[in-house]
Chains A and B, each alone.
Chain A
Amino acid sequence: MNMKNIVFVSLIAVLSVTMSSNAFAQCDVESFSNKALKALQPGFTFVKSYKIDGKNGVRKNIDYTCVFSKDTSYMIRMEGKDGGPNGIVAVLFDSNRQELATSYVNNRFFPGWTYKCKATGIYYLNFSFKESQSYCGAAVLGFRR
C-alpha cells in the first residue's frame, strides 16, 4: 500500500469513528441533570438521574425500571434543551403498566411530579418527547420518607 492509500485509509478510519461517536453526542445530559437537581425541592434526597437522550428523534421512548417503596414520596424533576421541561413527558406506570402519573397535563409541560407511594414494587418510568426540537434532557429522582 502506498503512502497516499495509508493516509486515505487513516483519514476514513478517524472520521468514521469520530463521526459515529459524535453524531449523537450533542446532548449534554450531565448539565441538564445538574439543572434538574437544583429544581428538586428541599426535603427530597437525590437518588438517581436519568438520561433522556432521544438521539435527535431516533429514540421516541426512553424507559427505565425502578423499585419504589411504600410510605415514601418520589419526586421527578426534568430539564431539557428546549428549556425547562418543555418537549419532555415523564410518565409513571405500575407493574401492570397502568399509568399512574404524567408530567403533561392540560396541554402543559410540568417540571415533574411527586408520587406518594404506598405500594412497594416494580414501577416503570417512561420519558417521551412531545413537540420537541432537541430530543435532549435529563431527569432526577429524589425521595422523602
Chain B
Amino acid sequence: MKKLYFMFILALLLGCGNNNASTEEVSEVVTDETATTAQVSDDIISDILQAIPSPLEISFLIKEVGTKYNSTNLNSIDLVSNYNTSYQQALNLGTYATDLGYANLYGKNQDVLSFLNCVKKLADNLNIGQFFDYETIRQLASNSGNVDALLQLTQQNFEKINYHLREKKQENLSILILTGGWVEAIYLTSLVHQETKNKQLKEKIGEQKVVLEQILMVLEIYKTKPNFSTLINDLKELQKVYNGVEMKTIVGKTRTVEKNGELIVETDTQTVVNISDDDVQKITSLVKSIRNKIVK
C-alpha cells in the first residue's frame, strides 16, 4: 500500500511539473550540471532569448545603404561538414541562418539553396531538422520573386526551432544559434562599413552594445558547458571596447494618431550613439577574430 501512495504522489508531482507557473524564479537544484542554470528561471532565460533581435533587421540596413551582394563575405558552404560538435553546429547554424537571410534579401536564389542545405544539415545533426520546412523553402527559393514569403517562412522555422529547444531545456543551443547569427550579422555590417564608411552602419555597430549585453547575460548562465568560457571571454573583450560607446537617450513627447483604423505611435524620444572611429576599428577587428574562430 505504501508503494501505491508513493506512486500516486509521484504521478501528481509529475503532472504538476508540466505546468510550472510562469512567475517561478528559482528552480530546485537537481544535479550538479543544472546548478548554474537553476539560479535563473527558464522564463527569464526565455524572455532574454526572445528579446534578442533578428539579424534580418541588420541585413535590411546593409541592403538599404546600397551595397552590392558579396558572397565572399559569407561563410563557406564547404565548411559545413567540419562542424562536428553540437557547440560548433549550433553556432554555425546561426551563422548560416544569417547568411541565408542575407542571400534571401538580395534574391540570390542559388546561394539561398546552398545555405539552406547547410542549415538543413546542421539542424538535422542537432535533431531539430523536423522544424525546418526545407522542401517549401526550397520551392520558394526556386521560384524567384517571392522574397517576402521566403523570409517569413524562414523566420517562422527558426522560431519553432528556438521554442522547441526551450521546451526541451536546451536553451544553451538556442543561445549559441542566436550568438552565431548575431556575430555573423555584425561581421557583415563591419565589413560593409569598412568599405562604405556609412554613418548609419557605424551607428548600427555602436547600437549592438545593447544586444551584446543580452547575449552575454544568457551565455554566462551556461559558462560551465564545454567551450562556452572561450566564447564568453572573447565576447567580454568585445564588451570592453563597447564600454567606450555612449548611448544617450533624449526623452521627447509620444503621440498616438489613428489613421484609417490604424494606431500609429510617433515619438520624439531618440538615442544618440557616440562611437569613435578607433572603437569601430577595434570592434571590426575583434568581431572578425571571433567570427573566424566560429566558422573555422
- A binding-site residues for B, Cβ under 8 Å: 1, 5, 8-9, 12-13, 16-17, 19-21, 23-24, 37, 45-50, 59, 62-72, 92, 94, 100-103, 105, 110, 112-122, 143, 145
Q: Is the beta-carbon distance between A17 and B14 smaller than 8 angstroms?
A: yes
Q: Is the beta-carbon distance between B50 and A64 smaller than 8 angstroms?
A: yes
Query: Once bound together, how far apart are the Cα atoms of A28 and B50, in whole Å?
Result: 20
Say if the beta carbon of B15 comes within 8 Å of chain A: yes
Determine how close the nearest CB of chain B comes to the CB of A135; give it in whole angstroms.
13
Q: Is the beta-carbon distance between B11 and A100 smaller than 8 angstroms?
A: no
Q: Is the beta-carbon distance between B4 and A67 smaller than 8 angstroms?
A: no
- B binding-site residues for A, Cβ under 8 Å: 3-4, 7-8, 10-12, 14-16, 18-19, 22, 47-48, 50-54, 56-57, 60-61, 64, 148, 151-152, 155-156, 159, 200, 203-204, 207, 210-211, 214, 247, 249, 254, 256, 258, 261-271, 273
Q: Is the beta-carbon distance between B15 and A21 smaller than 8 angstroms?
A: yes
Q: Which of B4, B214, B264 meets A5, CB within 8 Å? A: B4
Tell whether A69 pairs with B155 under 8 Å between CB atoms, given A1-B4, A114-B265. no
Give chain B residues whose Cβ lies under 8 Å from the Cβ of A94: 269
Q: Is the beta-carbon distance between A115 and B265 smaller than 8 angstroms?
A: yes
Q: Is the beta-carbon distance between A64 and B8 smaller than 8 angstroms?
A: no
| 13 A-B residue pairings within 8 Å (CB atoms) | A9-B4, A19-B15, A21-B19, A37-B152, A46-B156, A67-B53, A70-B270, A114-B262, A114-B263, A118-B267, A120-B207, A121-B210, A145-B61
Determine how close the nearest CB of chain A comes to the CB of B16; give it in whole angstroms.
6
Q: Is the beta-carbon distance between B11 and A16 smaller than 8 angstroms?
A: yes
Give chain A residues whose Cβ lies under 8 Å from the Cβ of B271: 70, 118-121
Determine how close the nearest CB of chain B comes to the CB of A10; give it in whole angstroms.
9
Q: Is the beta-carbon distance between B4 and A116 smaller than 8 angstroms?
A: no
Q: Which of A12, A17, A21, A118 meets B270, CB within 8 Å? A: A118
Q: Is the beta-carbon distance between B15 and A116 smaller than 8 angstroms?
A: no
Query: Once bound together, how far apart are the Cα atoms of A20 and B10, in whole Å?
Result: 13
Give chain B residues whose Cβ lies under 8 Å from the Cβ of A63: 47
Nearest 10 A-B pairs (CB), nearest first? A20-B15, A13-B11, A16-B15, A113-B263, A65-B51, A118-B270, A101-B265, A119-B271, A16-B11, A120-B207
Q: Is the beta-carbon distance between A13 and B14 smaller than 8 angstroms?
A: yes
Determine how close the nearest CB of chain B comes to the CB of A41; give it in whole angstroms.
8
